[in-house]
Amino acid sequence: MHLKLQTCGKMAILRARSLTAVLFLSFTAAHLCNAIRIPPSPPASGFTRYNMVFLGDSLTDQGNAFAMLGAPNPSIYYKGRCTNGPNWVDYLTKTVKQYPQTRIRVQNYAFPGATACPSPLTRAAAPFITDMSDQIAALTADVASKKVRLSGSKTLVFQYLGTNDFLFFFENLQATNGTTTQAEIAQLVRDTITCRVKGAAAIAAIQGVTDIVILPIAPLHTSPAAPPEYRPVFLAIEAFLGNETRAAMEQLNKTLAAAPAGTPGAGVKIWVLGNTDWVSNGAYQVKPPFKYIDTAPCFWNPRPVIVITPGIQVCSDPEDYFFYASTSGATRTVVMPALSSMGALVSSLGKRLVSLSCLGAILSALSEDQVHPTTRFHEWFANKGVLPRLQDLGVLP
């Protein structure tokens, strides 16, 4: 008899003399498909084409700031990246390009200092910094003018922002010796989630977009400025952000799925790549392991990366460090809510924690402690963190 079997995306004509042989061959083929992840066969044109668009901050920028400002310092930062080598975008796109018969186009709108929500203070101090709405507007304009063509089997837009919203909020309090309340901090959390969801909706409306990838905020609790006894506080905030972001994006997914065919955003899918915990846990999964993870970075930069500071000495063994560089400044005390009030905030985030009266001072330190991991972690983040999650979801082969 003759039998056609679907074998990992390829049709095979198998000639069998008995039903037993057919069953054996079917069983073997199925297990081979499960054991080996093979990209699907390319379309008739001969190539599988992807567009990959990146929105983000200094962790994602591949040289936009350098092209505009000549910074970060090329003598200590790699080709406009805020690290000592390629960043996660470089590693991810390089891996996808290696798929058989695959072609990709990459567009990167990320910029150091970018926030998820518009920041009037940032706009006034550094108007060249593009927040998420600016980056989406630039992408929209480029598509409308045909400068960027989103044609292909998939267009993936990656949204990796939100950490700076927290850092800059407390930096402003620090600069003004201001005060805050648990209600204001809770509102900051809600605003960040809302901005990310509105951003995803705006991205979905861009013609040609098929998939939106939402990455969790970078881990605040791993900073060298965060004392171990207070890291559970940041973990609670990160977990709340992740869970609420997922819920909000799931609702947006339902709205897009129900949209009439042909309307903006109809059929676009949003993929949330989990919470921050897998990112921070990755620091302990890199091989060979880092010698220094939650201690000092390879070097301290006294000013932001978009300002070149002469005379900085880089350590001799940067690959031993999880953090390549940390931007550190003078600290002031920020008056925070009373312990009971802060306890209510963190309880509302899903955890009961004590000893929170110093949270403001620590968040103040974090606001001027903008850390950037080494290229070894960027590689892990791309190829062991982001990529397998996209593969498991069926977004990438």
Phi, psi (degrees; rounded to nearest 5) at 235:
-60, -40
The answer to whether residue 339 scores a pLDDT higher than 80 is no
What's the pLDDT score for residue 11? 34
pLDDT digits (tens, 9 = 90+) for 202-235: 999 999 999 999 999 988 788 765 657 667 777 8
What's the pLDDT score for residue 237? 82
pLDDT digits (tens, 9 = 90+) for 122-166: 888 889 999 999 999 999 999 999 999 998 789 999 999 998 888
**Rounded Cα distance, 189 and 98, in Å:** 39
pLDDT digits (tens, 9 = 90+) for 250-259: 999 999 999 9
Judge whether 255 and 270 are in contact, CB under 8 Å. Answer: no
Q: What is the DSSP letter of 290?
A: P
What's the pLDDT score for residue 120? 87
Judge whether 362 and 385 are in contact, CB under 8 Å. Answer: no
**Rounded Cα distance, 382 and 294, in Å:** 21
Residues 265-292 have a mean pLDDT of 96
CA torsion sign for 86, 87, 91, 97 is: negative
Residues 248-271 have a mean pLDDT of 97
Q: Is 208 exposed, middle or buried (0-12, 13-18, 19+ CB in 10 A)?
A: middle
What's the pLDDT score for residue 98? 95
More confident residue, 88 or 299: 88
Using left for φ > 0, alpha for ψ between -120 and 50, and beta otherwise, residue 287 falls in: beta
Could you give the domains of the chain?
A: 2-33 (no CATH), 48-392 (3.40.50)
Q: Which of 371, 363, 369 lies closest to 170 in space, CA to CA?
A: 363
Binned at pLDDT 50, 70 and 90, residue 22 comes out as very low
Residues 245-252 have a mean pLDDT of 97
Could you tell me the two tokens for 101? 């018969």
**Rounded Cα distance, 89 and 52, in Å:** 10
Residues 163-171 have a mean pLDDT of 80
Strand partners for 211: 156, 269
pLDDT > 70 in the chain, percent: 75
Q: What is the helix (H) or strand (E) element at residue 158, kind and residue range?
A: strand 154-160
Judge whether 204 and 256 are in contact, CB under 8 Å. Answer: yes
Highest mean pLDDT among 27-31, 251-255, 311-315, 324-328: 251-255
Amino acid letter, 348: S
End-to-end CA, the chain? 33
Q: Which of 217, 213, 216, 245 lies closest to 390 in space, CA to CA?
A: 213
Q: Give the pTM.
A: 0.80
397 cis-preceded (ω within 30 degrees of 0) = no
DSSP letters spanning 63-117: SHHHHHHS-S-TTTSSTT-SSSS--HHHHHHHHHHTSTTEEEEEEE---TT--SS
SS3 308: coil
**Rounded Cα distance, 46 and 102, in Å:** 9
What's the pLDDT score for residue 328? 52
**Rounded Cα distance, 53 and 36, in Å:** 28
Binned at pLDDT 50, 70 and 90, residue 35 comes out as very low
